[in-house]
Structure 1
Amino acid sequence: MNALSGFPPALVRRLVVKIGSALLVDPAGAVRVDWLRTLVADVAVRRAAGQQVIIVSSGAIALGARRLKLPKGGRGSLEDAQAAAATGQIALSQCWASLLDEKGITAAQMLVTLDDLENRRRYLNASATLERLMALNVVPVVNENDSVATAEIRFGDNDRLAARIGQAARADAVVLLSDVDGLYTANPHADAGAMLIETIETIDARIAAMADDGSASGMGSGGMVSKIQAARIATGAGAHLAIISGKVDAPLSHWAGGGKGSIFLAAQGKGARKGWLAGRLTTRGRIIVDAGAEKALTKGNSLLPAGVARVEGVFDRGDVVDIVAQDGRVIARGLIEYDSEAAVKIAGRRSEDIAALLGEMPRSVLVHRDHMAMV
């Protein structure tokens, strides 16, 4: 068994636990209070052992839809989803606060949007808030602010939100409670021969191909694809990520006692700024580079204009762009030193030609290595 199984407090100082809608809310739209109470008991035990816990909780839309009697679980339209979220979030926060209070634990609510964690300043504000709550011995309960989020500015699933919160909180690990007990070689609901993978050291094309993007319940918005995306964010930020079953009582204790699970091992930690870059879910443009530039980037060099084959998108200086290999792989992400119009003009040209092309040469690189993260 992996020594990290159960994410013991002795090895994991700060833990993010994500709970999906299908686990927290029953098909009729009511909170599964008895099950949730067992999870809160798990949290209390871990806190008593010295582990700090942050909860990322879904369920607001499902709860609100029941109270408002909205069709399709509140997801029939954007307006319905926003109204359901606004109504359900009150019930959700009250439930968490009440159950945590039974264990003598103070709860705090944090609602965030995608843009709150993609904007560097707001990301740092969220990070500071989480740090202060941890210092005050409070359990933050985090959810996406679905009452104001739209398709363009939302995570779409709380798996990736949990990974980004883990990054912002400098957590040691993230655990995703799921309707399956880990990553299998195939969909275990459809293939009896599917085998559980207990430890994943590297998320390569083989691992990504095992994902199934279906949500078994139809209530949530994530599948295995979103969980692997979350694992990329978490492990890239230096945190382990586990997928375990939430379909048992006291799921954290069950896992720690020998229950099944899959653990994605943390990569070597990036610096805080580079980790934020690598974990971003939105970018403003794409810089396609040749094989020589790709090789130079893997050695830690800056991106020079000469290695650029093509520029896509409209962006300003300082925006985040993807740096893409010829075969379409995103290999790095960074802050661009020129706007898109200028970048198109100097693409493929030597640095010494920039002044003649633009009338000035304020910078010799397109993306500096200090403002770039490999992904």
Structure 2
Amino acid sequence: MQSVIQSCQRIVIKVGSSLVTNEGRGLDHAALARWAEEIAALTRMGKQVVLVSSGAIAEGVKRLGWAKRPSMLHEKQAAAAVGQMGLVQGYESCFRQHSLQTAQILLTHEDLADRTRYLNARSTLLTLLQHRVLPIINENDTVVTSEIKFGDNDTLGALVTNLIDADALIILTDQRGLYTADPRNNPAAEFVHEAVAGSAELEQMAGGAGSSVGTGGMYTKVIAAKRAALSGAHTVIASGREPQVLTRLAAGEAIGSQLTAGTSRLAARKQWLADHLQVKGSVTLDAGAVKALRGGASLLPVGVVEVNGDFLRGEVVRCLSPDGVEMARGLVNYSSLETQKVLRQPTTKLEPILGYIDEPELIHRDNLVLLQA
């Protein structure tokens, strides 16, 4: 078996608390330096990397002089606010040694559930990657309104994978990977080298939390792999204690548990667009736009003759042929009111009419699925 990471160009890497802290007592700066060295090597291979890192609360607990991780939500939020300063400073200093520019992104799940904020976050991250900047992402723990949940950054890593259309998610933990049962309690447990993400058997195999430092068990990692597979991304769950684990994976060495997407990346994303998002409105196209879409082009405002429904940027709309037949649907870059103002207009007129321009396309071809050939 060969690692899928070798052929992946855009990768999200999630690093757990146990791999960046001194057993929960503040940050392990030597560990941060090792991760920076490995990720820098990946970027030299031409790979785009987004890092999702835990560790802020543990660092905050140390800086505040507390004896242990707090249980009260407001105390966790305070620790996260203090510790995030140290986490970002530590990473920024380490990556600077490799001439890598970094950026801090704090997200909540609500940010990614709201389609407008989802697209704004996507645009920001893709722009950073385009400019060879390494985004470092963490949960915005200081503003969450519910308990900081089990395995939150595992889920966040999967959502970011979907967000930027990454090819793979690497979840680094303090365990070797996934077993058929808990190897600490069952000597007959077998290691899972490869499986299909999202299968019911994987969820049955996964156990609870295995670390006193982190909050995520293997179950949350299996669910994260299932989420990542929705957009066609593969997941590798591996031990961050393995020497040079990232560069070895990138070289094709099979390490940890490899959970592959059950279908092609393109097919999975198109299925997600077609079946998993609620349609909010429609646009009617002229014959030229219909032909362009069937040829693989994006939808431009100039090809739209009518707008129906009330939709916001980032919501799903139907694309209707001149005779009213739905031939495609996709994520729209402008609201219904904005679209109404710019229909039949060339791209050069968007900024003069609206006063700004978010995207040159009404629907980009990557966010559009054809329903009729």
Q: Confirm or deny a common fold (TM above 0.5).
A: yes
In structure 1, stretches of 5+ residues that fail to align are 281-316, 321-369
Distance 1:44 1:265 in 2: 25
Task: State yes or no: 1:189 paired with 2:184.
Answer: yes
Task: Provide the residue aligned with 2:97 in structure 1.
Answer: 102
SS at match of 1:109: strand
RMSD of aligned C-alpha atoms?
2.8
Structure 1 pair 31–152 and aligned structure 2 pair: CA distance change class (3 A): closer
* 8 Å Cα contact 1:239/1:267 also seen in 2: no
Task: Provide the residue aligned with 1:59 in structure 2.
Answer: 55
In structure 2, stretches of 5+ residues that fail to align are 279-310, 316-367
Structure 1 pair 154–279 and aligned structure 2 pair: CA distance change class (3 A): farther
SS at match of 1:244: strand
Distance 1:71 1:259 in 2: 40
Structure 1 pair 152–136 and aligned structure 2 pair: CA distance change class (3 A): same
Distance 1:108 1:3 in 2: 28
Aligned-residue sequence identity (percent) comes to: 37
Task: Provide the residue aligned with 1:49 in structure 2.
Answer: 45
Structure 1 pair 190–164 and aligned structure 2 pair: CA distance change class (3 A): same
SS at match of 1:270: helix
Q: 1:77 pairs with 52, 72, 81, which one?
A: 72
Amino acid at match of 2:31: W
Amino acid at match of 2:89: Q
Q: 1:174 pairs with 146, 149, 169, which one?
A: 169
Give TM-score, length-normalised by structure 2. Answer: 0.69
Task: State yes or no: 1:233 paired with 2:227.
Answer: yes
Distance 1:254 1:279 in 2: 37
Task: Provide the residue aligned with 2:211 in structure 1.
Answer: 217
Amino acid at match of 2:135: P
Amino acid at match of 1:118: A
Distance 1:240 1:199 in 2: 11
* 8 Å Cα contact 1:113/1:155 also seen in 2: no
Matched residues, number? 279
Distance 1:111 1:206 in 2: 33
Distance 1:265 1:241 in 2: 6
Amino acid at match of 1:274: W
The aligned runs of 1:1-375 (5 Å cut-off) are 1-4=1-4, 7-8=5-6, 11-27=7-23, 29-73=25-69, 75-151=70-146, 157-214=152-209, 216-255=210-249, 256=251, 258=253, 260-268=255-263, 269-271=267-269, 274=272
SS at match of 2:237: strand
* 8 Å Cα contact 2:2/2:253 also seen in 1: no
SS at match of 2:129: helix
Structure 1 pair 231–34 and aligned structure 2 pair: CA distance change class (3 A): same
SS at match of 1:243: strand
1:228-257 Cα shifts (integer Å, max 9, x gaps): 110111011110011000123432134457
